[in-house]
Amino acid sequence: MKIRSLIIDDEPLARKGLKEYITDTSFLELAGEFDSPLQATELISSGTVQLLFLDIQMPRITGLDYFKSLQQPPPVIFTTAYPEYALEGFEVNALDYLVKPISFERFLKAAHKAKEYYELKERNRAEGNSGDYFFIKTDSKLVKIFYDEILFVEALQNYVTIHTATRKYMTYLTFRAVEEYLPAEQFLKVHKSYIVAASKIDSIEANDIRIGLHHIPISRNQKEEVMEKLLRNRFLKRE
């Protein structure tokens, strides 16, 4: 598998160089290139970009601000003219920072971090799917939860609440970790703070999903994408 990589940099020669490096790296492939972040949003939200090479200082919006604005950001490697320690970028969870001018050697080191990230994710997923349950820590004990018990998952600041038909479990986890752990075929992120089990949905009205007595919002700018995924091959209608 090759990691689909997107380049965003306002300077053509900087993009040309990164393209050259991506082509020369066996496990990367170019998903596209843009000279401005705002043009990239559509491609990124389609979910096909697996790695982002993002310049920081650009005319309309900085790479950092842009990255923070993304709903479902792919792993990112920042490229910048500033020395690493001068960056506030450490607050966003970047895989790496490449300081310009960028040597191939240094680029490859960063690319390997992306490779490791995906290998680990794949292993977790493979192991996660081997059973039909998992454990979480809640109220200082470990509790077993079956995938098919879950109705939806809600993000609450530093915690995550997992709702089942009978009760809810609060656990100290990041929302992103849960999102990555749950099998994507059964669970869908419909909002920046909600993941739902597709099979548990009772009805959808406007931007509101109902599961039993619960109302779950669909994020407005993801509505189309969410509906497409939920209804794929499952929408019986008069053509």
Partner 1 sequence: MLDYGRLQKRMGEIAKEKAEAELNFLKSQINPHFVFNTLNAIYFLIQKENADARNALHRFSDMLRYQLYEMGGQKVPVEKEIAYLRDYMDLQQLRKDDRYTVRFHCTEQVKGFSIEPLLLVPLVENAFKHISHHKHQPNEVEVSMDRQNGQFIFDIRNSRELLPTTEKPGGIGLQNVRRRLELLYPGKHQLTIRETDQEFLVNLNITLS
Interacting residue ranges for partner 1, rule: CB under 8 A: 11, 13-14, 16-17, 20, 24, 57, 81-83, 86, 99-104
Q: Peptide bond preceding 83: is omega within 30 degrees of 0, i.e. cis?
A: no
Residue closer to partner 1 by CB (options 102, 198) is: 102
Task: Using the minimum distance from each CB to partner 1, give the nearer residue, 16 or 215.
Answer: 16
Question: Where do runs of H (alpha helix) occur along 136-187?
Answer: 175-181
Helix (H) or strand (E) run with residue 170 in it: strand 168-171
- Choose between 11 and 127: whose C-beta lies nearer to partner 1: 11
Q: Whole-number minimum distance, CB 17 to partner 1, in Å?
A: 3
* Beta sheet of 76-80, edge-to-edge order: 28-34, 3-8, 51-55, 76-80, 96-99
**How far apart are CB 18 and partner 1 at their closest, in Å?**
9
Q: Which is nearer to partner 1, 96 or 225 (CB)?
A: 96
Dist CA 109 CA 118 (whole Å): 15
Nearer to partner 1, 103 or 174 (CB): 103
CA distance to 89, 114, 181, per residue, from 85 (Å): 9, 21, 32
For residue 127, the minimal CB distance to partner 1 (Å) is 40
Q: How far is the CB of 210 from partner 1 (least distance, A)?
A: 52
Alpha carbon distance 41, 79 (integer Å): 18
Shortest Å, Cβ 89 to partner 1 = 15
Tell me how far apart the alpha carbons of residues 6 and 213 are, in angstroms, rounded to a whole number: 42
Check residue 97 and give left, alpha or beta (phi > 0: left; psi -120 to 50: alpha).
beta
Nearer to partner 1 among residue 23 and residue 221 (C-beta): 23
Closest CB 16 distance from partner 1, rounded Å: 6
End-to-end CA distance of the chain: 38
